[in-house]
């Protein structure tokens, strides 16, 4: 029978390429191992005791039993500081900081990771392995939604691993993490540009009839037939008293009720055809004919199909855009904007919040930080599917467009 301390190293695990978090492939087997390890007596030798605490703490973290993980990894750090070598104390501190990170105590974890980076540069025996500190610090910043800092740390870890001829799996891990952080950073920059560009074109529609602005982003699905109420509510999830507004549109002859959905009337069909023409003209006046940018945006939208956390993006992306070059670009940018909106809604719903509840959160609230980070990871999916060089060209091209 394999001794428990050896058996631990046979427990297979995987790393999620979006969250960058590791988990056991067989949680039941890992849970059974942890139960047995917790029942073992603590070894009397300080080095053996440190390793015992380290194994238990690492397994508990990956099983998300974070109180147990913190307790044992704090003990491992104390033993490493008092009885171990300097590099053992650094690795013990990294493991404990990793638990703080998973507990959402990002500020505390970052302080510890920064200390590990500093000490890795000071301790000669760590000079060839200081990439560990950068890699794990990067994961903490990634978890916290600090995409640019995470990207910098992962890039440094990758350079150090390549220079030290590290194991190919470690090099691949840094490359994977760098790509994920770069995609999230691109997603944030893209969101800033989309929030600038799309409303600039829509500002030309300020004279629409009362409540008719609710039809603008639904004009594509409405042209195709009955639009389910689930899609209507998702498009307008932040509109207060939406049901009353829709009833007004029905009463004024702009919408028809069709089962659990709505449809256009001849009146709204005429209005929305005019809206499309006006948006086409506004986008062309603002942006000219950006054919290369349209091709890039179309590629991103096509590759993002099926990656959204909600229903709006796929509904808008599925309909081929028509009209001028700039008008079609506006259509694709609007769809991408809803990809992020879908991700944001899924993130605050996962926290048990409503639209009003998420709006009420302070910027410093840990729940908001979790929501924003989760949003950023999912909203990065369209950009993960293109190369980093394409991401940079896309953002640069969007940035040149006037608003």
- Specify whether 276 is located in the same domain as 287: yes
Residue 128: per-residue pLDDT: 80
Domain that holds residue 39: 4-185
Tally of structural domains, the chain: 2
- Specify whether 155 is located in the same domain as 211: no
CATH at residue 102: 1.25.40.10
Task: Identify the residue whose tokens are 């959905």.
Answer: 261
Q: Is 402 helix (H, G, I), strand (E, B) or coil?
A: coil
Residue 280's CB is within 10 A of a number of other CB atoms, namely 20
Q: Digits of tens for pLDDT over the chain (403 positions)? A: 566 678 999 999 999 999 999 999 999 999 999 999 999 999 999 999 999 999 999 999 999 999 999 999 999 999 999 998 999 999 999 999 999 999 999 999 999 999 999 999 888 888 788 999 999 999 999 999 999 999 999 999 999 999 988 899 999 999 999 999 999 999 999 999 999 999 999 999 999 999 999 999 999 999 999 999 999 999 999 999 999 999 999 999 999 999 999 999 999 999 999 999 999 999 999 999 999 999 999 999 999 999 999 999 999 999 999 999 999 999 999 999 999 999 999 999 999 999 999 999 999 899 999 999 999 999 999 999 999 999 999 999 999 999 9
Residue 162's CB is within 10 A of a number of other CB atoms, namely 14
- Specify whether 129 is located in the same domain as 193: no
User: Exposed/middle/buried for 29, CB within 10 Å: 0-12, 13-18, 19+?
Assistant: middle
- Specify whether 278 is located in the same domain as 139: no
Contacts of 346 (CB under 8 A, 6+ apart): 309, 310, 374, 378
- Specify whether 176 is located in the same domain as 224: no
Residue 1: per-residue pLDDT: 57
Domain boundary residue, one of 185, 215, 247: 185
- Specify whether 142 is located in the same domain as 60: yes
Q: Are 146 and 169 in contact (CB under 8 A)?
A: no
- Specify whether 169 is located in the same domain as 207: no
- Specify whether 347 is located in the same domain as 216: yes
- Specify whether 151 is located in the same domain as 62: yes
Residue 311's CB is within 10 A of a number of other CB atoms, namely 17
- Specify whether 171 is located in the same domain as 196: no
Q: Are 145 and 376 in contact (CB under 8 A)?
A: yes
- Specify whether 208 is located in the same domain as 150: no
Residue 129: per-residue pLDDT: 87
Q: Are 211 and 249 in contact (CB under 8 A)?
A: yes
Q: Are 352 and 377 in contact (CB under 8 A)?
A: no
- Specify whether 128 is located in the same domain as 270: no
Widest CA span of the chain, in angstroms? 84
Residue 273's CB is within 10 A of a number of other CB atoms, namely 12
Q: Is 55 helix (H, G, I), strand (E, B) or coil?
A: helix
The pTM assigned to this predicted structure is 0.94
Domain boundary residue, one of 133, 168, 185: 185
Domain boundary residue, one of 185, 219, 251: 185
Rounded-to-integer distance, Cα 99 and Cα 106, Å: 10
Residue 301: per-residue pLDDT: 98
């Amino acid at each position: 029978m394999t001794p428990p301390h050896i058996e631990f190293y046979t427990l297979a695990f995987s790393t999620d390429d979006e969250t960058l978090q590791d988990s056991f492939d067989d949680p039941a087997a890992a849970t059974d191992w942890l139960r047995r390890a917790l029942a073992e007596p603590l070894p009397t030798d300080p080095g053996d005791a440190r390793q015992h605490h380290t194994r238990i703490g690492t397994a508990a973290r990956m099983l998300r039993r974070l109180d147990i993980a913190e307790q044992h990894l704090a003990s491992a750090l104390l033993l490493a500081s008092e009885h171990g070598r300097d590099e053992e104390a650094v690795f013990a501190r990294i493991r404990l900081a990793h638990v703080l990170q998973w507990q959402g105590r990002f500020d505390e974890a970052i302080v510890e990771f920064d200390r590990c980076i500093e000490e890795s540069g000071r301790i000669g025996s760590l000079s060839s392995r200081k990439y560990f500190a950068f890699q794990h610090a990067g994961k903490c910043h990634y978890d916290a939604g600090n995409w640019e800092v995470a990207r910098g740390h992962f890039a440094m870890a990758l350079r150090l691993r390549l220079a030290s001829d590290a194991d190919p799996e470690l090099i691949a891990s840094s490359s994977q993490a760098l790509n994920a952080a770069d995609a999230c950073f691109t997603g944030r920059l893209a969101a800033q540009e989309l929030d600038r560009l799309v409303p600039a074109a829509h500002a030309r529609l300020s004279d629409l009839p009362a409540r008719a602005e609710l039809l603008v982003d639904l004009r594509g699905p409405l042209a195709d037939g009955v639009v389910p109420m689930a899609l209507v509510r998702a498009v307008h999830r932040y509109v207060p008293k939406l049901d009353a507004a829709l009833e007004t549109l029905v009463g004024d002859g702009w919408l028809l009720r069709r089962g659990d959905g709505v449809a256009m009337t001849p009146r709204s069909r005429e209005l929305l055809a005019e809206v499309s023409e006006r948006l086409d003209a506004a986008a062309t006046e603002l942006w000219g004919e950006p054919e290369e940018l349209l091709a890039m945006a179309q590629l991103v939208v096509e590759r993002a199909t099926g990656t959204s956390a909600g229903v709006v993006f796929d509904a808008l992306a599925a309909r081929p855009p028509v009209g001028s070059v700039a008008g079609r670009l506006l259509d694709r940018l609007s769809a991408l904007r809803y990809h992020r909106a879908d991700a944001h809604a899924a993130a605050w719903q996962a926290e048990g919040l409503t639209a009003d509840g998420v709006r009420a959160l302070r910027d410093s609230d840990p729940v908001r930080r979790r929501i924003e980070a989760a949003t950023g990871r999912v909203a990065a999916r369209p950009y993960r599917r293109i190369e980093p060089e394409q991401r940079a060209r896309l953002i640069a091209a969007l940035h040149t467009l006037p608003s």
